[in-house]
């Protein structure tokens, strides 16, 4: 296909498979396999659309091989492994469905490249709960948005345009929106309002965000806080912020676990979520019911931001198929969820995993080293492995579905070019065929 | 191939067959008339067995975002409730919140062949259908949620007129691939987004100024005009609030003869009498249902044990969040569309309130006279998981067993319930009605489903006739789907484990000009294009992964 076409095919209303915001207004021109983002791009996603296709031939031990040979070699490697890790998992719904089938067939464990931050938010949900909003609720109803340790734009360059400063809001939701950035090294300019107003910036050292979140929760819940400068901030600033959150009609708290210190992420998010729960349990503003414990019937909700790579989708498919989140082993034939023990780094460092099937169909993400490895990677990715099978990218080379950062909205992504590359699903199904059926055991259920 | 099922006792209420011994014939996946002069290729002796159509669960939360949250929230339970893959069946976990594959296997093992997700948010429709695509064996479908969405409420506020609303309802059914329309706490999920913590039947939404009563009649009228078989499927106001029996009676009255399905009615039948301010309102409500043939209900029976409640009713879930057990809960405001709330719940036999909830559900079952107006549900998993159905059936069929269970409850509860005095025992024909014939009819599927007459799809469950009805319904001898064996003696047929059932939908005609208005709303306020929102047929049917069955609507458009 690369040689033949001079004429550009213009695709309008393209859904970006990369930004987890569900942007669906991109305009992309395709000339053969070359893509150019004409409108709706941003510094993170445009290069992912526009990267050259690169070599599409599978490789075994660095040498070109046919797809059938590579599939056969992959099946052999996985079939021999005692405890294979199926990692990366940057794929669409159907790719993930197939990955879980492979895991069941070979008795492996699944983990996503971004599980660490993803599970920080999920584990808080699993232990205490949370109150969350989707993008459209933020876009329309928020009158106060607090960003904790993130500027959002570094993960999602279009966040402010698409979510925070839309041209219109639902009638009745108000016209004002105040932003507060809490954290270190955040640039308030990315959140500038159309009228030029800059977000308030409370500069808090990254390693003290965990403390700031705990203090904020205490203040919102009207508990005593000692010291004049908790988390290195003037107490009065935090008191003002707590009062604003209590009085807001619809406050939103944004975090990106990947931008919080890994060791503090869960505790920080937990303080924020407990605070949100308290605020939502507050009664309506009526004279008989108001107990003065919390704001006047306002609401407060969270929004967790994830990066590219469809970690939300990979987790959703795992949760509905197996009943538990990602970082789960089926080595015993049934799901065992262990968010610490089944982290990719832990499995490779301890030597428990003896083979790696690495899936990275959205971008060039090299696999970790240490064990015999099969890569199902985006074409053009340079990292070598024992077996490399270039695969198509959902939304560029084939249709599929991916999930938005708010976990609720799944998006249909389309095909923009004829690259001839197989999808992750196709390659994994071929590997399953090569592995052959497992004998049917007695029904244990 | 012609198959003869010989000698079974047939319970087929749609065809007025009540326990007669009768041979059944199956050809090409359907029941056919007895062929004179044609010899069956296969004869299966089912003498002594009780035969019914495949079970149909008309209200069971089986797929979608809130249920996936519920699964993850129940991680501690799932650790000890795992299911192994066996080379044919996939692995999974969870009893109250089973994973998708397990949902399909567990329903099939109970003799069910269809189940319907009753609360699909249009904004989450794609995920709900993806999940249901991974529920094997069962046919399925979903009811799309309307009534707290900003688009409908703004159309009502701006008096866009009933034609526009009717077209929007039809558009929602089509583009979310739904079979019916569900309303949850009409206007209340929206009111909560505007800060209200409660909304009564005649209270106005804080911004849109529409009352729940008006939202219900508006949607009921739209569905009637469209000729959608299933009436508006209603989770009413004030779920779980003592004194909501009044709201329920007023809701029935307020429909003024319009058809309505009141779902999980047990949660809406609470009085506030007695020294604890909590009593049964079942008698008056059952009487109202008996008098109003336009009303159908499902019970949402509570059973004792650990479960999790997953609901679109953010307002009531947050209101009751203090009762979460274990103490954790999730709520979400969703996409100018609706919301969801998920909280674990442990119904305890020794708890006065929980025990009375149990009794109230059974009172409804026993006091609502016409089995065509009432359907067996636990609002899975909210009252209990669907795997408790056999126990529930025994409670309905066996008065001594029921009274034994009742005696284990707190004295204070027994004093507040008339359950002990209710002598009714369900017959097998009545069980067949409330678990397959009735659901098929109320959903408009009864031409081909829910019965054993010629032309129906050959979904059949054969039970051994055991006086212990719990044991009997817990392990059917044989389950067929479209004539194919899917379960025998409690074991999934390996060949059938991969069956992907159809998705049932309706598509009433409408004026497509409405898309302009919807499109503007979606672009202006959700920041999306209409094409991204709409769920295409290909997404369900792609690569032969699923199929769609569209049911006729009787509307004039």
- At A402-414, the pLDDT tens digits run 999 999 999 999 9
pLDDT in tens, B284-339: 999 999 999 999 999 999 999 999 999 999 999 999 999 999 999 999 999 999 99
Supply the pLDDT for residue A383: 86
Chain B residues within an 8 Å CB radius of A411 = 126, 532
The segment(s) of chain A belonging to CATH 3.40.50.740 are 56-114+309-435
pLDDT in tens, A196-251: 999 999 999 999 999 999 999 999 999 999 999 999 999 999 999 999 999 999 99
Long-range contacts for B158-164 (Cβ within 8 Å, ≥24 apart)? B160/B517, B162/B218, B162/B221, B162/B222, B162/B225, B163/B511, B164/B514, B164/B517
Query: Inter-chain contact B334–A171, Cβ cutoff 8 Å?
Result: no
Other Cβ atoms within 10 Å of A421 Cβ, number = 23
Average pLDDT in the B531-555 region?
90
Instruction: Give me the residues of A, 96-115, that contact B with CB < 8 A.
Output: 97, 101, 104
Supply the pLDDT for residue B153: 98
Supply the pLDDT for residue B410: 97
Asked if pLDDT for residue B186 goes beyond 80, the answer is yes
Mean of all residue pLDDT scores within chain B: 97
Report the interhelical angle of B352-367 vs B282-291 (nearest 10°).
20
Q: Which residue has the tokens 């406050």?
A: A251
Query: Inter-chain contact A335–B490, Cβ cutoff 8 Å?
Result: no
CB pairs under 8 A between A and B: 239
- Vertex B107: Cα angle to B101 and B112 (nearest 5): 135
Supply the pLDDT for residue B218: 98
The tokens describing B67, both together, are: 């249920």
Supply the pLDDT for residue A286: 43
Average pLDDT in the A289-313 region?
76
Give the SS3 label for residue B106.
Answer: helix
Q: Which residue has the tokens 């975090």?
A: A255
Domain annotation for chain B: domains and CATH numbers: 2-53+450-492 (2.30.40.10), 55-442 (3.20.20)
The tokens describing A280, both together, are: 């939502």
Average pLDDT in the B199-224 region?
96
pLDDT in tens, B495-516: 999 999 999 999 999 999 999 9
Asked if pLDDT for residue B160 goes beyond 50, the answer is yes
**The total number of residues written for chain A in this structure:** 445
Mean of all residue pLDDT scores within chain A: 94
The segment(s) of chain A belonging to CATH 3.40.228 are 118-304
CA distance B396 to B422: 11
Other Cβ atoms within 10 Å of A128 Cβ, number = 17
pLDDT in tens, A38-83: 999 999 999 999 999 999 999 999 999 999 999 999 999 999 999 9
Query: Inter-chain contact B91–A104, Cβ cutoff 8 Å?
Result: yes
CA distance A270 to B328: 12
Asked if pLDDT for residue B248 goes beyond 80, the answer is yes
- Rounded to a whole number, what is the distance in Å from the CA of B329 to chain A's nearest CA? 5
Query: Which ranges in B177-211 belong to alpha helices (H)?
Result: 188-193
pLDDT in tens, B394-444: 999 999 999 999 999 999 999 999 999 999 999 999 999 999 999 999 999
Asked if pLDDT for residue B361 goes beyond 50, the answer is yes
This model of the complex carries an ipTM of 0.97
CATH label, A56-114+309-435, candidates 3.40.50.2300, 3.40.50.300, 3.40.50.740, 1.10.760.10:
3.40.50.740
Choose from B176, B494, B527, B546 for mutation: most chain A CBs within 10 A.
B527
- Are the CB atoms for A362 and A378 separated by under 8 Å? yes
Query: Inter-chain contact A321–B101, Cβ cutoff 8 Å?
Result: yes
- Closest to B267 in 3D by CA, of B238, B292, B233, B308: B238
- Vertex A268: Cα angle to A267 and A272 (nearest 5): 115
Supply the pLDDT for residue B60: 98
Supply the pLDDT for residue B43: 96
- Closest to A103 in 3D by CA, of A86, A87, A91, A82: A86
Asked if pLDDT for residue B537 goes beyond 90, the answer is yes
Query: Inter-chain contact B332–A131, Cβ cutoff 8 Å?
Result: yes
pLDDT in tens, A361-400: 999 999 999 999 999 999 998 889 999 999 999 999 999 9
Query: Inter-chain contact B85–A409, Cβ cutoff 8 Å?
Result: no
- Vertex B245: Cα angle to B241 and B247 (nearest 5): 85
Asked if pLDDT for residue A144 goes beyond 50, the answer is yes
Is the CB of residue A443 less than 8 Å away from at least one CB of chain B? Answer: yes
- Rounded to a whole number, what is the distance in Å from the CA of A259 to chain B's nearest CA? 23
Band (A441; pLDDT cuts 50, 70, 90):
confident
- Are the CB atoms for B126 and B538 separated by under 8 Å? no
CA atoms within 13 A on the CB side of A278: 21
Domain A118-304: give its CATH architecture.
Answer: 3-Layer(aba) Sandwich (3.40)
pLDDT in tens, B9-21: 999 999 999 999 9
- Closest to B236 in 3D by CA, of B224, B256, B221, B252: B252
What string of DSSP letters covers B358-388? HHHHHHHHHH---GGGEE---TTTTSS-GGG
Supply the pLDDT for residue B54: 98
pLDDT in tens, A245-294: 999 999 999 999 999 999 999 999 999 999 999 999 987 554 333 333 33
């Amino acid at each position: 296909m690369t040689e033949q076409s001079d004429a550009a095919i213009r695709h309008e209303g393209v859904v970006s498979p990369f930004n987890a915001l569900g942007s669906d207004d991109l305009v992309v021109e395709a000339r053969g396999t070359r893509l150019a983002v004409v409108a709706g791009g941003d510094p993170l996603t445009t290069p992912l659309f526009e990267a050259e296709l690169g070599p599409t031939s599978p490789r075994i031990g660095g040498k070109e091989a046919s797809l059938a040979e590579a599939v056969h070699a992959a099946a052999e490697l996985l079939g021999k492994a005692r405890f294979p890790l199926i990692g990366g998992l940057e794929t669409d719904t159907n790719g993930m469905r197939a990955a879980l089938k492979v895991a069941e067939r070979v008795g492996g464990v699944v983990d996503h490249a971004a599980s660490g931050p993803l599970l920080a938010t999920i584990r808080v949900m699993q232990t205490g709960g949370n109150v969350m909003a989707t993008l459209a609720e933020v876009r329309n109803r928020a009158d106060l948005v607090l960003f904790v340790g993130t500027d959002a734009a570094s993960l999602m360059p279009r966040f402010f345009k698409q979510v925070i400063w839309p041209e219109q809001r639902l009638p009745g939701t108000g016209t004002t929106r105040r932003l507060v950035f809490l954290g270190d090294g955040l640039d308030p300019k990315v959140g500038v309002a159309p009228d030029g107003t800059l977000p308030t910036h409370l500069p808090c050292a990254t390693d003290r965000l965990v403390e700031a979140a705990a203090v904020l929760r205490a203040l919102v819940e009207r508990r005593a806080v000692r010291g004049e400068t908790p988390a290195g901030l003037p107490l009065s600033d935090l008191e003002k912020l707590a009062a604003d959150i209590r009085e807001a009609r619809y406050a939103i708290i944004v975090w990106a676990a990947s931008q919080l210190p890994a060791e503090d992420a869960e505790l920080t998010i937990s303080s924020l979520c407990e605070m949100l729960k308290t605020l939502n349990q507050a009664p309506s503003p009526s004279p008989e019911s108001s107990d003065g414990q919390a704001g006047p019937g306002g609401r407060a909700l969270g929004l967790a931001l994830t990066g590219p790579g469809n970690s939300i989708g990979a987790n959703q498919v795992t949760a509905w198929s197996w009943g538990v989140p990602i970082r789960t082993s089926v080595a015993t034939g049934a799901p065992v969820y262990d968010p610490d023990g089944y982290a990719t780094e832990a499995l490779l460092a301890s030597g428990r995993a003896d083979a790696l099937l690495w899936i990275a169909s959205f971008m060039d993400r090299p696999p970790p080293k240490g064990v015999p490895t099969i890569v199902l990677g985006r074409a053009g990715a340079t990292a070598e492995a024992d077996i490399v099978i270039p695969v198509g990218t959902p939304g560029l080379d084939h249709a599929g579905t991916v999930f938005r950062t708010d976990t609720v909205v799944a998006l249909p992504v389309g095909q923009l070019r004829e690259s001839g590359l197989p999808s992750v699903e196709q390659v994994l199904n071929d590997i399953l065929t090569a592995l052959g059926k497992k004998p049917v055991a007695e029904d244990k259920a | 191939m012609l198959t003869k099922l010989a000698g079974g006792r047939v319970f087929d209420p749609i065809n007025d067959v009540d326990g007669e011994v009768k041979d059944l014939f199956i050809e090409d996946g359907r029941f056919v008339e007895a062929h004179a002069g044609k010899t069956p290729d296969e004869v299966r002796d089912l003498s002594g067995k009780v035969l019914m159509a495949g079970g149909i669960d008309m209200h069971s939360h089986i797929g979608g975002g809130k249920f996936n949250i519920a699964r993850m929230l129940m991680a501690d339970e799932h650790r000890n409730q795992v299911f192994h893959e066996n080379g044919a069946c996939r692995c999974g976990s969870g009893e109250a919140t089973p994973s998708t594959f397990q949902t399909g296997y567990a329903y099939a093992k109970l003799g069910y062949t269809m189940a319907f997700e009753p609360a699909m948010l249009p904004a989450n429709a794609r995920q709900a259908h993806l999940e249901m695509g991974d529920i094997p064996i069962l046919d399925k479908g979903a009811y799309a949620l309307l009534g707290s969405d900003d688009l409908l409420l703004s159309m009502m506020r701006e008096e866009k007129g009933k034609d526009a609303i009717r077209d929007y309802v039809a558009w929602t059914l089509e583009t979310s691939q739904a079979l019916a329309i569900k309303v949850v706490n009409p206007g209340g999920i929206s009111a909560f987004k505007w800060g209200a913590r409660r909304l009564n039947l005649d209270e106005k939404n804080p911004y849109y100024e529409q009352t729940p009563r008006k939202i219900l009649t508006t949607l009921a009228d739209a569905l009637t005009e469209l000729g959608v078989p299933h009436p508006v499927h209603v989770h009413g106001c004030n779920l779980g609030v003592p004194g909501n029996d009044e709201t329920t009676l007023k809701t029935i009255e307020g429909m003024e003869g319009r058809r309505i399905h009141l779902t999980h009615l047990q949660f809406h039948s609470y009085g506030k009498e007695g020294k604890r301010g909590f009593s049964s309102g079942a008698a008056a409500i059952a009487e109202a249902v008996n008098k109003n043939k336009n009303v159908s209900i499902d019970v949402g029976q509570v059973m004792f044990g650990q479960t999790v409640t997953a609901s679109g009713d953010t307002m009531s879930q947050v209101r009751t969040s203090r009762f979460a057990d274990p103490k954790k809960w999730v709520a979400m405001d969703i996409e100018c569309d609706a919301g969801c709330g998920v909280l674990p719940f442990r119904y305890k036999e020794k708890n006065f309130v929980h025990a009375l909830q149990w009794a109230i559900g059974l009172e409804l079952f026993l006091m609502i006279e016409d089995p065509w107006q009432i359907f067996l549900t636990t609002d899975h998993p909210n009252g209990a998981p669907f795997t408790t159905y056999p126990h529930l059936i025994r409670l309905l069929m066996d008065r001594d067993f029921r009274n034994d269970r009742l005696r284990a409850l707190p004295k204070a509860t027994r004093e507040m319930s008339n359950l002990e005095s209710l002598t009714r025992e369900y017959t097998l024909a009545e069980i067949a009605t409330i678990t397959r014939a009735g659901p098929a009819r109320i959903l408009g599927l009864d031409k081909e489903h829910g019965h054993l007459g010629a032309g129906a799809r050959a979904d059949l469950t054969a039970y051994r006739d055991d006086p212990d009805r719990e044991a009997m319904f817990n392990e059917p001898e044989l389950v067929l789907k479209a004539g194919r064996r899917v379960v025998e003696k409690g074991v999934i047929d390996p060949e059938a484990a991969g069956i992907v059932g159809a998705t049932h939908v309706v598509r009433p005609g409408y004026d497509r000009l409405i898309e302009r208005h919807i499109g503007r709303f979606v672009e202006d306020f959700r920041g999306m294009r209409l094409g991204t929102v709409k769920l295409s047929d290909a997404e369900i049917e792609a690569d032969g992964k699923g199929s769609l069955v569209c049911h006729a609507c009787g509307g004039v458009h």
